[in-house]
A and B are shown apart, each in its own frame.
Chain A
């Protein structure tokens, strides 16, 4: 009965590859997010979607492509992976966007690019 689940938990890949991370929420929330936790431990927003519509795109390189087939899913495709992409990526959801609804996070995907 996991609320926000993301797969895989760990992802090790080589530079130049393309990989995707999947996220699903069963909370019935309207808004989903991708956050990146960098080496300095800051959590920074990458994207947010509200009912499959892109709301926030935080100056993320074009190599990162979010895809929301429905409001319960938000996947992240990363093309031409670089060493600097190594980080922990968190998916999250909230009931409403902009109403100060608390975020519910998944357990993260640790991406290591070698």
Chain B
């Protein structure tokens, strides 16, 4: 029962072009979404987040879009750089009470490769 899914295991783009990473979720209680970036042999690092009251959040080259009706979010990286090559994880959380409080549910990640 995977509530957060990243259906593309990998993505390859040319340096300078746009990278678009996608994520779908099924739990309508999720109200906060995050993207993490992970290099080999390191832990994930926080990249950008978005609350469910917004449909877009931008931070430099990174923009996250949220489509609540479709239960879909995407991360756009423009322009892509070779240093962006990493695994990108989508994650979701709910501030509802009970055992879900503060818990992050992750997707399985998408490997992004940016070619020079």
Which A residues have a C-beta under 8 Å from some C-beta of B?
4, 31, 35, 40-45, 48, 55-56, 58, 90, 92, 94, 97-100, 102-108
Contacts and interface: CB of A to CB of B under 8 A. Distances in A.
A102 B108 contact: no
Contact of B102 (A44, A97, A108): A97
Given A42-B106, A45-B104, A56-B102, A100 B43 contact: no
B104 to A, nearest CB: 7
B interface residue count range (under 10 / 10 to 19 / 20 to 34 / 35 or more): 20 to 34
Interface string B66-86: 000000000000000000000
30 contacts: A35-B106, A40-B108, A42-B2, A43-B89, A43-B91, A43-B106, A48-B102, A48-B103, A55-B101, A56-B99, A56-B101, A58-B103, A92-B43, A97-B101, A97-B102, A98-B95, A98-B102, A100-B51, A102-B49, A103-B36, A103-B44, A103-B46, A103-B104, A104-B45, A104-B46, A105-B45, A107-B42, A108-B41, A108-B42, A108-B43
Contacts of A31: 102
B34 interface: yes
B65 interface: no
Contacts of B34: 102
